[in-house]
Amino acid sequence: MPTYKAPLRDIRFVMDEMLDFPAHYAQLPNGDEASPEIVNAILEEGAKFTEEVLTPLNQSGDAEGCQFNDGEVVTPKGFKEAYKQYVEGGWPSMTQDTRYGGQGLPQSLGMVLNEMICSSNLSWGMYPGLSHGAMDALLHHGTEEQKELYLTKMIEGSWTGTMCLTEPHCGTDLGLIRTKAEPLADDSYAISGTKIFISAGEHDMSDNIVHLVLAKLPGAPEGSKGISLFIVPKFTPDANGEAGERNGVQCGSIEHKMGIHGNSTCVMNFDNAKGYLIGEPNKGLSYMFVMMNAARIGVGIQGQGLAEVSFQNALAYARDRLQMRALSGPKAPEKAADPIIVHPDVRRMLLTQKAFSEGGRALIYYTAQLIDQVSAGGDAGKDADELLGLLTPIVKAFLTEAGFEATNEGIQIFGGHGFIHEWGMEQFVRDARITRLYEGTTGIQALDLLGRKILMNQGESLRKFTKQVHKFCQTEEGNSDMVKFVAPLAKLNKEWGDITMQVGMKAMQNREEVGAASVDYLMYSGYVTLAYFWAQAAKVAQEALANGTTETAFYKGKLATAEFYFSKLLPRTKSLVATIAEGGDSLMAMDVDQFGAGFEI
Ligand SMILES: Cc1cc2nc3c(=O)[nH]c(=O)nc-3n(C[C@H](O)[C@H](O)[C@H](O)COP(=O)(O)OP(=O)(O)OC[C@H]3O[C@@H](n4cnc5c(N)ncnc54)[C@H](O)[C@@H]3O)c2cc1C
């Protein structure tokens, strides 16, 4: 059975040594709450909960899956009890608003816990995970009464939330939504329609489920401009605010999926269900974006968390498994063969996993600081919001692509045993596969990055980020130890702007050029962004080693991983530059009927 140990040393490296979280918290209005003692307690207790409670349920939850019986969903053995412990531990309220029963801690601490949850048991983590996005949407756009009624219960953890967008004919293109909302005399609405693929849409872990549903009012404008957002509770709250009468929303079935078997993915049928409008009519999509942006970062964390757990298990195996001798001669002559970790190709795979996981962690925690700053508001909050908008599709798509590659390498390191269910490595791949799809596929994130976030604001937010990278490179250019990192980083950072200009120019002639370049462009952006964080990690490690640290293995390992990243992963940007430069001609040349010419389907 695979194991998991929360990587607290590396988490502290990023929080304390790379990104100076104590100084970050000192700038926040609620930063006092995040004292070193509290942060430490959260890390220690979070590690204990995820290692001891969630990890043992991961493989059994995958094997057992969710059961569907006549509209009810039974979650795998132990899931319900683990959720109870999570609620008793006060975790759902940790970063929520104190006015509604929250503890008011900075969001970033929730994201650190989330990484541990995603590594230990992604399927379980999606039940409380979906609630977080729903709570954000309610906090920002709900009325005071709605917050009192729903948010308080969700913060307490006794009710959970969902996000109901997708319909059978409507996935990426939400403008196609058909679910209807008819106004009723009492200011509520009758919601009718079918939503599919609703994560945690029905389960047995909480007393009530609060669905946030996108639907159309009569006469609403066509397309995405005519979508409104509604609260549709499974049980309508009674006069005391407790779960009351059963509402007209039912789970019709659950999906049988490639991965995340322990999480229920539901068809939800709304049949004149009582719903309550959030905010103004026809503004639902913008409200839902509050939820979707948080969820996108959350999915990026899923990719990174799975890379981490796969790496931990592959590392243990590579140290233990004896096969063949090192090419340069025996490294463990007393044994029948050398451990496979001596072989360069196995090291390539392990280092790829480590580089993506630890580099991804730094990127996510930086993003977490931006989220804290946005919550704090003011001018700093506005700047942070712009950077956050730029980095969100990179976190979502690049880290899930990297997570999938890392978990796949995890199987490869195990050889044939990786393909066998019992070792648990194939589960990580199956679970990781969905992260590239939901919350907007990689293709859609790439269009968001290049089209909406960069070209539509004339590269302003990209310039803000590349300026920051440039400043770092300039500061370090006189440091001879850092040249091998900052020289290539500075070159790529400049090239990033140049490529953007080139694609932008081509797009003025032909808009298809944006779509043709976008995924390569996103991957390029991801590699350069991670290089910036690996260069910072290298600097901290070099300083610690120069100052005579006693943890030489940790810092030397960090430095060696940075060197690996720069020499073996970052050069992938060269082929991406070449494919971006080729443009869209070879993609668009073929007529649709030529694709399948020669066979009938
Ligand atoms: C396990 C699971 C859980 C989910 N949970 C939820 C949930 O909780 N709530 C919810 O509302 N939904 C949920 N979803 C739905 C998920 O978000 C969608 O499946 C996803 O957004 C893609 O939509 P689609 O499947 O309809 O694909 P489509 O939109 O049909 O896309 C098919 C392909 O075409 C590509 N494509 C589409 N349009 C474009 C374009 N303009 N340019 C380039 N490429 C394009 C896509 O990238 C994709 O590769 C879940 C799905 C799954 C499988």
Strands 265-278 and 249-254: antiparallel
Q: In the structure, what pLDDT confidence band is assigned to residue 38 with cuts at 50, 70 and 90?
A: very high
Largest CA distance in the chain: 84
Angle at 454 between CA 108 and CA 388, to 5 degrees: 10
CB atoms within 10 A of CB 322: 12
Report the alpha-carbon distance of residue 296 to residue 301 in Å, rounded. 9
Nearest CA to ligand 1 atom 26: 171
Buried b vs exposed e over 264-292: b needs ≥16 C-beta within 10 Å? Answer: bbbbbbbeebbbbbbbeebbbbebbebbb
Report the alpha-carbon distance of residue 563 to residue 561 in Å, rounded. 5
Centre of ligand 1 to C-alpha 163, Å, is 14
- Read off the tokens for 436: 């590239």
Tell me what percent of the chain is helix, strand and coil, each rounded to the nearest 5.
65, 10, 25
- Read off the tokens for 584: 């869209």
pLDDT score of 313 more than 90: yes
How much of the chain exceeds pLDDT 70, in percent?
Answer: 100
Instruction: Identify the pLDDT of residue 294.
Output: 83
Residues shown for the chain:
601
211-215, 266-270, 282-286: which range is least confident on average?
282-286
Nearest CA to ligand 1 atom 11: 165
- Give the mean pLDDT of the chain: 97
Query: Is the CB–ligand 1 distance for residue 577 below 6 Å?
Result: no
Buried b vs exposed e over 385-407: b needs ≥16 C-beta within 10 Å? Answer: bbbbbbbbbbbbbbbbbbbbbbb
Instruction: Identify the pLDDT of residue 471.
Output: 98
Report the alpha-carbon distance of residue 90 to residue 397 in Å, rounded. 31
Instruction: Please check whether residue 560 is in contact with residue 354, taking contact to mean a CB–CB distance below 8 angstroms.
Output: no
* Residue whose CB lies within 8 A of the most ligand 1 atoms, among 66, 163, 172, 266, for a mutation test: 172
Q: Which residue has the tokens 């389960």?
A: 203
Report the alpha-carbon distance of residue 333 to residue 182 in Å, rounded. 77
Centre of ligand 1 to C-alpha 446, Å, is 14
Helix/strand/coil for 554: helix
From 360, 362, 354, select the one nearest 413 (Cα to Cα).
354
Angle at 44 between CA 39 and CA 46, to 5 degrees: 90
Number of continuous H segments (helices) and E segments (strands) in the chain:
22, 11
Nearest CA to ligand 1 atom 35: 443
CB under 8 Å to 285, separation ≥6 — which residues?
A: 174, 214, 224, 227, 229
Q: Model confidence over 108-141: pLDDT tens digits?
A: 999 999 999 999 999 999 999 989 889 999 999 9
Query: Is the CB–ligand 1 distance for residue 446 below 6 Å?
Result: no
Query: Is the CB–ligand 1 distance for residue 199 below 6 Å?
Result: yes
Instruction: Please check whether residue 466 is in contact with residue 496, taking contact to mean a CB–CB distance below 8 angstroms.
Output: yes
Q: Which residue has the tokens 């991670």?
A: 530
**Which stretch of DSSP H or E encloses residue 354?**
helix 344-376
Q: In the structure, what pLDDT confidence band is assigned to residue 601 with cuts at 50, 70 and 90?
A: low
Closest-lying ligand 1 atom to the alpha carbon of residue 199: 8
Centre of ligand 1 to C-alpha 166, Å, is 8
Centre of ligand 1 to C-alpha 169, Å, is 11
- For range 532-543, the mean pLDDT: 98
- Helix 55-64 to helix 79-88 angle (10° resolution) is 150
How much of the chain exceeds pLDDT 90, in percent?
Answer: 96
Report the alpha-carbon distance of residue 266 to residue 203 in Å, rounded. 10
Query: pTM for the full model?
Result: 0.98
Question: Which residue has better confidence, 601 or 43?
Answer: 43
Report the alpha-carbon distance of residue 198 to residue 129 in Å, rounded. 13
Query: Is the CB–ligand 1 distance for residue 517 below 6 Å?
Result: no
Centre of ligand 1 to C-alpha 522, Å, is 18
pLDDT score of 281 more than 80: yes
Nearest CA to ligand 1 atom 52: 197
Helix/strand/coil for 493: helix
Enumerate the β-bridge partners of residue 191: 181, 273
Q: Model confidence over 552-574: pLDDT tens digits?
A: 999 999 999 999 999 999 999 99
| Distance, C-alpha 408 to centroid of its chain | 18
Report the alpha-carbon distance of residue 380 to residue 378 in Å, rounded. 6
Closest-lying ligand 1 atom to the alpha carbon of residue 257: 1
Closest-lying ligand 1 atom to the alpha carbon of residue 172: 29
Per-residue CA distances from 249 to 10, 165, 271, 558 (Å): 45, 15, 6, 51
Query: Is the CB–ligand 1 distance for residue 127 below 6 Å?
Result: no
Centre of ligand 1 to C-alpha 376, Å, is 33
From 3, 12, 1, select the one nearest 361 (Cα to Cα).
12
Kindly list the catalytic residues: 439
Q: Model confidence over 286-309: pLDDT tens digits?
A: 888 877 888 899 999 999 999 999
Report the alpha-carbon distance of residue 493 to residue 519 in Å, rounded. 18
Report the alpha-carbon distance of residue 224 to residue 279 in Å, rounded. 16
CB under 8 Å to 345, separation ≥6 — which residues?
A: none
Instruction: Identify the pLDDT of residue 599.
Output: 83
Instruction: Identify the pLDDT of residue 290.
Output: 76
- Read off the tokens for 523: 């991957």
Per-residue CA distances from 313 to 48, 345, 576 (Å): 18, 17, 31
* DSSP assignments along 191-246, one per residue: EEEEEEEEETSS-SSSSEEEEEEEEB-TTPPSGGGG-EEEEEESEEE-TTSSEEEE
HSE-CB for 400 with a 13 A CA cutoff: 29
Nearest CA to ligand 1 atom 16: 438
Instruction: Identify the pLDDT of residue 208.
Output: 98
